[in-house]
Amino acid sequence: FGQTVSPDGTIYFPFVGKMHVASKTAGEIRDQLAAGLSPYLKKPQVDVRVLAYRSQKVSVTGEVKTPGPLAMSDVPLTLIDAIARSGGTNADADLQRVRLTRNGKLYELDADGVLDRGEISQNVLLQSGDIVNVPDRTDSRVFVMGEVKTPLPVSMMKGRLTIADALTQAGGILDTDANARQIYVVRGAREKPASPDIYRLDLTQPDSLLLSTQFQLRPLDVVYVGTSGAVQFNRLVNQVLPTLQTIFYLKQLTR
């Protein structure tokens, strides 16, 4: 309930009549109403608040259950409030990389940090015209490749994933084919394709096992498990042997 402001900026209030309220504060409207009611009431006490700014809205899109515009009121609307009013997030939502578009500029916010670690600085107050996009986890994956049982992309949970976690989810390294001395992490291939950062881990060393549980991967890192020397030789022979056999049979036929 309340008084809807008409297109000409006025409302109608009983006994007071038509009032112009556009561009006025709640306090100014309260004083105007009290003055208009004073001939009928002794010391009238009036409270005025804005129920909804119908012309001021925030749009929430992406991996939320009910995406769409949210009307603003005089109650401040924060990032977490907007996500909650949109029904919460879907299972694939990436709360660590919520995108806020304001006045043509893009900002990245960590809503998960607000919920898990109380990082209030990330729970910004929203303004009219803001667009909040909750992305999926496409950009929060790590790719495990090479001599593992199941090469696959691994999604990061709450932005955290270690080398040990990634290898475990890929089924572990192959016992016969993998070279445990050559566990590589390739980082920054998208930003620096010609010169990415490469880290090497030797899992045959006892301290490396501990390091593998502490080394935090970053989104779009590539974990590559190298191939043992014997397996490389066998694969090379398997590739070359058909060619040698073909040459041998051709020579036999030409004799």
Stretch 31-55: mean pLDDT, rounded? 85
Residues 161, 144: contact at Cβ < 8 Å? no
Between 135 and 23, name the one with better pLDDT. Answer: 135
Q: Which pLDDT does position 234 carry in this prediction? A: 52
Could you identify the residue written with the tokens 């009036």? Answer: 46
Q: Which pLDDT does position 107 carry in this prediction? A: 94
Q: For residue range 180-208, what is the model confidence (pLDDT) as tens digits?
A: 888 889 888 878 878 888 899 888 888 88
Residues 217, 142: contact at Cβ < 8 Å? yes
Could you identify the residue written with the tokens 């590589």? Answer: 184
pLDDT, mean over the chain: 83
Side by side, which strands form the sheet with 141-146?
152-155, 141-146, 222-227, 178-187, 197-201
Q: Which pLDDT does position 238 carry in this prediction? A: 54
Say if residue 11's pLDDT is above 80. Answer: yes
Which ranges of 86-138 would DSSP assign to H, the alpha helix? 111-117
Give the CA angle between residues 232, 237, 241 to the nearest 5°. 160
CA of 143: how far to CAs of 111, 162, 227, in Å? Answer: 25, 12, 17
Q: What is the helix (H) or strand (E) element at residue 106, kind and residue range?
A: strand 105-109
Q: For residue range 71-112, what is the model confidence (pLDDT) as tens digits?
A: 887 778 899 999 999 999 988 888 888 999 999 999 999 988
Residues 171, 148: contact at Cβ < 8 Å? yes
- Predicted confidence band at 239 (pLDDT cuts at 50, 70, 90)? low
Please state the φ and ψ torsions of residue 130, each to the nearest 5 degrees: -70, 150
Q: Which pLDDT does position 124 carry in this prediction? A: 92
Say if residue 245's pLDDT is above 60. Answer: no
- Predicted confidence band at 255 (pLDDT cuts at 50, 70, 90)? low
Q: For residue range 116-166, what is the model confidence (pLDDT) as tens digits?
A: 888 888 999 999 899 999 998 888 888 998 888 999 888 887 778 899 999
